[in-house]
Structure 1
Amino acid sequence: MKLIYSPCPNDTYIFHALVHHLIPGTPDFDVTYADIDITNGLAMNSESADIMKISYAALPWAHKDYVLLPCGGALGRGCGPLVLTKEETNPQNLTGKRIAVPSERSTAYLLFRLWAAQKVSGEMGEMIVMPFHEIMPAVRDGKVDAGLVIHEARFTYHEYNLHMLTDLGEWWEEDTGTPIPLGAIIAKRTLDVKSITNWIRASIYYAMENPKASLDYILEHAQEMSPEVAKSHIDLYVNEFSLNLGDTGYAAIEFLLGRAMEAELIPTMDLTDLRWGNGK
């Protein structure tokens, strides 16, 4: 079975037991590690993978062939993307500026565009897609005027002498009252979605009960990350929503995608379809 997810600590933590044959009754997995911009593009092709991690923002492009699973993803509070600049500034100064983003089909990008519609009066300049770990050096070196960062950048941007223009998570929670839907796990509609959901939940429970078991695997794939930063990353992105989206999680996803559709940032889709995988 083909499985694609990022090398980030929250993903390797969640899937460690599953892909290392520690969950009974599971098949062999052919694992590919890919940056979120790559997986968001692959989600448009049902031959890419059986199960994969994508941004919630990419669901409208994938929902024809894939179903959202109710577990394994990243959704929560206090875990939003950041907008960073080399010098202290204000949102109005982003008018006409070059912005580095990790993906134009990411939740981070949706949040950024929705925020900018409120806070930036003029049109921003070029949006430059680059791997998330290259964004902070690009801002530091003046290759771009600002960067939209995700993942462990929340803990490390000070090392690059950068300034936080805004925390999009804080803005979103204050503006909407809902948690932030970041990464989704999707599976082909033709598969046994219930079994896959049970396998992933079992893998998460194994990780929680055996926190040291996955450490070598996590650090092997983390990009020059200390064990302390990796743990902070996991603590932030793996939570109760990773085990079960529940009504609160689904409502947050519906709210985000509904607002993005109104702003014509994503294609339209039937939001009631989001809960399909929760009842199979």
Structure 2
Amino acid sequence: MRTTSTPSTRKRRRSPRDGRVPASRTIRLAHSPDADDAFMFWALAAGKIDTGTRRYEHELADIETLNRRALRGELEVTAVSLHAYAHLADRYVLLAHGASVGDRYGPRIVARSPRPADPRGALAAPGTVVAVPGELTTAFLTLKLYQPAARHVVVPFDEIEDYVLAGRADAGLLIHEGQLTYGDRGLHLWVDMGEWWYEETHGLPLPLGGNVVRRDLGAALIRDIARDLKASIQYGLEHRAEALAHAKRFGRGLDDVRADRFVGMYVNAYTIDYGPQGRRAVTELLGRAQRAGLVPGPVDLTFVAA
């Protein structure tokens, strides 16, 4: 895991009338070292927006690690899988900004062999094993909704392609850049979970991840954090070339065209704010998960907006 600390403001704050300077507050903000998250948080990390007295210390780790750390309440603000949020809602609130939502695309199930006539049945066949990036990822949740009988093994997300190619698993569930590069290595697409979800729900996008804030920070600070994150996303979109140049450093081998495409897939209108359709999609996803016995119970889905 890499940790960086960056100033959160470029502008000098005016002192209150009594002459005292407001105390600064350092907030730990964690997210994945991926091109889309790098794009979203670039303005915040680079000091492009005024965050007042709030300073953000950025911590980078893969999403399953962040899910597990959030379960322990270690991080004040973090990206998490929406599957994981079902286990975190008592301790964290969900922000309306910073979501990763796939509109007819999402995690992909790939294999060495060409797509069978019945992928769902093939995944339940005796002895078939799927390599997955973590049991708290939304990718894993969609797999279990698609085929509850699928057997799996947890593998770091950036090792899944090699794991499948080596014959250690029959199929792999890819997230992040692997969604675009699997074909380069001779792997075949069996199912795009975002496309399946779109058809299954008659037109809903697939909400994969979001940003959460620990409840004990208090309502006022949580609202300020929501405003900072939204401002960072909007600034990046308004200065796309600069933000994309930064994001490409986290593209794990993506060329410029694919890096641009990947960022466009997951930094979109839903990222600025879920909106009614995005909120409905989250409600549907976690509702189905609850009915299937895949999450512990009803989830508080209050979205905190700037």
Does residue 1:154 correspond to 2:172, yes or no? no
How far 1:224 moved relative to its partner?
Answer: 2.5
Letter in 1 for 2:207: P
How far apart, in 2, do the equivalents of 1:3 and 1:157 lie?
Answer: 31
Does residue 1:65 correspond to 2:63, yes or no? no
Does residue 1:99 correspond to 2:126, yes or no? no
Letter in 2 for 1:102: P
Which shifted more, 89-98 or 241-250? Answer: 89-98
Is the 2:110–2:171 Cα contact (8 Å) retained in structure 1? yes
Is the 2:96–2:303 Cα contact (8 Å) retained in structure 1? no
Please report the TM-score for the alignment, with normalisation by the length of structure 2. Answer: 0.84
Letter in 2 for 1:168: M
Where in structure 2 are there 5+ consecutive unaligned residues? 1-26
- Whichever structure has more helix as a proportion of its residues is 1
How far 1:216 moved relative to its partner?
Answer: 4.3
Is the 1:19–1:28 Cα contact (8 Å) retained in structure 2? no
Whichever of the two has the greater Rg, that structure is 2
- Equivalent residues, number: 270
Letter in 1 for 2:265: L
Is the 1:79–1:237 Cα contact (8 Å) retained in structure 2? no
How far apart, in 1, do the equivalents of 2:136 and 2:51 lie?
Answer: 35
How far 1:82 moved relative to its partner?
Answer: 0.8
Residue number in structure 2 paired with 1:204: 233
How far 1:17 moved relative to its partner?
Answer: 0.5
Is the 1:81–1:149 Cα contact (8 Å) retained in structure 2? yes
Does residue 1:145 correspond to 2:166, yes or no? no
How far apart, in 2, do the equivalents of 1:232 and 1:186 lie?
Answer: 26
How far apart, in 1, do the equivalents of 2:237 and 2:192 lie?
Answer: 28
How far apart, in 1, do the equivalents of 2:150 and 2:295 lie?
Answer: 19
Q: Cα deviations across residues 5-37 of structure 1 (Å, max 9, x unaligned)?
A: 001111000001112211113422221111111
Residue number in structure 1 paired with 2:150: 124
Letter in 2 for 1:263: A
Q: Say what the alpha-carbon RMSD is for the aligned residues.
A: 1.6
In percent, how many aligned pairs have the same letter? 33
Residue number in structure 1 paired with 2:6: none
Where in structure 1 are there 5+ consecutive unaligned residues? 118-122
Is the 1:76–1:239 Cα contact (8 Å) retained in structure 2? no
Letter in 2 for 1:153: G
How far apart, in 2, do the equivalents of 1:7 and 1:155 lie?
Answer: 17
Does residue 1:14 correspond to 2:43, yes or no? no
Which shifted more, 156-165 or 215-224? Answer: 215-224
Does residue 1:34 correspond to 2:65, yes or no? no
Residue number in structure 1 paired with 2:281: 252
